[in-house]
Structure 1
Amino acid sequence: MIRIGVFGANGRMGLALLEAATIKEQTQLTGAYVRSGSSLIGVNVNQINSAADKSVCFSDENTLESVDVLIDFTLPDGMRSHLKRAVEQSLPLVIGTTGLTADDMALLENAAKHIPIVFARNYSVGVNVLLNLVQTAATKFGDDLDIEIFEAHHRHKIDAPSGTALAIGESIADAKGWNHEEVAVYDRSQIETEKSQNEIGYSVLRGGDIVGEHTAYFATMGERLELTHKASSRMTFALGAIRAASWLQNKPVGLYDMQDVLDLK
């Protein structure tokens, strides 16, 4: 039985993770961490999410006890602090935080020299299969091709484009032999030329309670291929993260991703 601790346990994803760790076989929820001073400290998690383990209470994120693997889907500032704590206590860490900078990625790579880490922008099995499919499409269509990526999320999501949209674009760029940062186009409002076929365009929608939708468009003269993934519940991502945590236990130090977990490489 793998003992799971969740950072940001009172957030939207945190609550889903508490439930997923409770219902998933071979895992046990033993830590539900919130910020120091939170009014939830000492409150049973079952009072906030009735499907979560009723024997566990919210606790201070600075007190990590009786856990084998930690999971973090918080914002970048929180992730940096939690990463430091995980390294200090030699605990494996699953990270789903998006909106990370190049400096943040450097922190992850350095930390992965000391502990095993799974970092993925999306823990859905379907999305990770999609990352493989878009690479096949990008190579088989050839160069006479227009590539666009659309994503939609709830109004509360801060980063745009989403981490998943960027992961899709990066997968396509890798397959085409492109440098993603050189071909990504996020704003065409000041561009007065026609679209280049050596670029990947991004479009974003924010509204309501959309959990997550991503589409990669591959358009040529006369036909268009659309590869779409739609998530209807955060439990999709939570269960994937619990799967990653189970896989990560006893792995050697290193930086892994969901493609490693699902053996898709």
Structure 2
Amino acid sequence: MPIANSVVAFSLAPALASPTQRFNPRLATSSFTSPQLQRSPDRARSTQRRAVLVTIQMAVDLAVMVNGVPGNMAAATAEEVVRRGLVLADEALTGPGVANSHFEAGGSKVSLSTPEDHTACLKRMKDKYPRLIVVDYTHPSAANPNVENYAKAGLSFVIGTTGGNVDDMKKAVDKSSDVYAVIAPNMGKQIVAFQAMMDMMANEFPGAFKGYKITVKESHQATKADTSGTAKAVVNSFSRLGLDFDVEDIEKVREASRSMREMQVPEEYITAGHAFHTYHLTSPDGSVNFEFQHNVCGRGVYAAGTVDAVQFLDKQKEKGDSTRLFNMIDILRIGGMS
């Protein structure tokens, strides 16, 4: 659990002892000796063996930098960070042409850093927050450059932005020595479980649907620029099950009228955020049909999963886990989601 308030603990040790405990970034430490002993050298010498060093250790809170605000997904994640009592970093990266200079979530004010200031901003945040995890919900075109910058700055991150080159992201993490990352096309844990189920089925029963035909249709709000990363991941599993289908054949619906008519999206979620997916399989002779659907209204499930990933990554980093790269299926398997 994150530490909501600073905790002060006192530890006593002989004054002449040499501290051997390694620095823990979760703890800010300061030391002092008795002022009476400093004013009286004779007394200090006579009581040297009984002198103590008082160490004050203050727990450092987990801080989260949410990049991409005031975008809708980033904004929902920032609200979830505050709701859980974590520290929301007071600066965030944003894209070109954003009119606002500040963003507010749950009473926490965040200054927005434009592209020319991104490198300096990351350094400021790393210096200010010793225990910092970055969340990225920016734009597909910015995803890979951002990951390179996070890795160079030594900042661990959770990236929910889809449309980037995942292999290049993994290489950036591998090149760093202490950066941990969660890279996933979907942060909703129930959707992640569905993806895991399809992946397991493909591994256990390769070619089970050979000869079947498939259509894939996904609907999102018009502001989503790329094809659903979740749909791409599920299509990959279907391909291993024997279906001849390319991700380029996924039908992307972004028109409000089609979303409501063909996908049954409630009108209030056309712009407020939705993710409706339908995968339809038909046997060669048309006598057997399978249909898989997962339909989400709003962004709450993704924001909650994102903060789960942040807290999981913080724990792995603290433990010094030899594995530094994770996806949401990894987190789900080891019970890292609340």
TM over 0.5: yes
**1:108 positional shift:** 0.7
User: Counterpart of 1:156 in structure 2: which amino acid?
Assistant: T
Aligned to 1:184: 246
1:115-139 Cα offsets, whole Å, 9 max, x none, are: 2111111111121122133346663
Q: Does 1:95 align with 2:159?
A: yes
Aligned partners of 1:177 and 1:68: how far apart in 2? 43
Tell me the TM-score normalised to structure 1 length: 0.77
Aligned partners of 1:7 and 1:242: how far apart in 2? 13
Aligned to 2:251: 203
Cα 1:36–1:163 shift into 2, 3 Å: closer
Q: How does 1:76-87 map to 2 (within 5 A)?
A: 76-87=140-151
Aligned partners of 1:96 and 1:171: how far apart in 2? 20
- Of 297, 305, 309, the residue aligned with 1:244 is 309
Q: Does 1:30 align with 2:89?
A: yes
Q: Larger radius of gyration, structure 1 or 2? A: 2
Equivalent pair of 1:73/1:95 in contact (CA under 8 Å): yes
**What is the aligned-residue identity percentage?**
23
What value does the CA root-mean-square deviation take over the aligned residues? 2.8
**1:34 positional shift:** 3.5
**1:23 positional shift:** 1.1
Aligned partners of 2:71 and 2:77: how far apart in 1? 10
Q: Does 1:12 align with 2:72?
A: yes
- Of 170, 176, 182, the residue aligned with 1:109 is 170
Aligned to 1:226, the other structure's residue is in SS state strand
Uncovered stretches (5+) of structure 2, i.e. residues with no partner? 3-61, 257-269
Aligned to 1:262, the other structure's residue is in SS state helix
Aligned to 1:194: none
**1:232 positional shift:** 0.6
Aligned partners of 2:169 and 2:154: how far apart in 1? 14
Equivalent pair of 1:126/1:229 in contact (CA under 8 Å): no
User: Counterpart of 1:206 in structure 2: which amino acid?
Assistant: R
Aligned to 1:146: 213
Cα 1:173–1:6 shift into 2, 3 Å: same
User: Counterpart of 2:82 in structure 1: which amino acid?
Assistant: T
**1:14 positional shift:** 1.4
Equivalent pair of 1:212/1:231 in contact (CA under 8 Å): yes
Aligned partners of 1:236 and 1:219: how far apart in 2? 31
Aligned to 1:155, the other structure's residue is in SS state coil
1:27-71 Cα offsets, whole Å, 9 max, x none, are: 332244134886533x3x33xxxxx23133224244132251000
User: Counterpart of 1:88 in structure 2: which amino acid?
Assistant: K
Aligned length: 235
- Of 242, 250, 257, the residue aligned with 2:327 is 257
Uncovered stretches (5+) of structure 1, i.e. residues with no partner? 47-51, 188-201
Aligned partners of 1:173 and 1:8: how far apart in 2? 33
Equivalent pair of 2:183/2:327 in contact (CA under 8 Å): yes
Aligned to 1:171: 237
Report which of the two has the higher share of helix: 2
Equivalent pair of 1:6/1:31 in contact (CA under 8 Å): no
Equivalent pair of 1:244/1:258 in contact (CA under 8 Å): yes
Aligned to 2:276: 213
Aligned partners of 2:230 and 2:334: how far apart in 1? 17
User: Counterpart of 1:232 in structure 2: which amino acid?
Assistant: C
Aligned to 1:71: 135
Aligned to 1:63, the other structure's residue is in SS state helix
Cα 1:142–1:34 shift into 2, 3 Å: closer
Question: Greater RCO between the two (CA within 8 Å, min separation 6)?
Answer: 1
Aligned to 2:110: 57
- Of 209, 218, 223, the residue aligned with 1:156 is 223
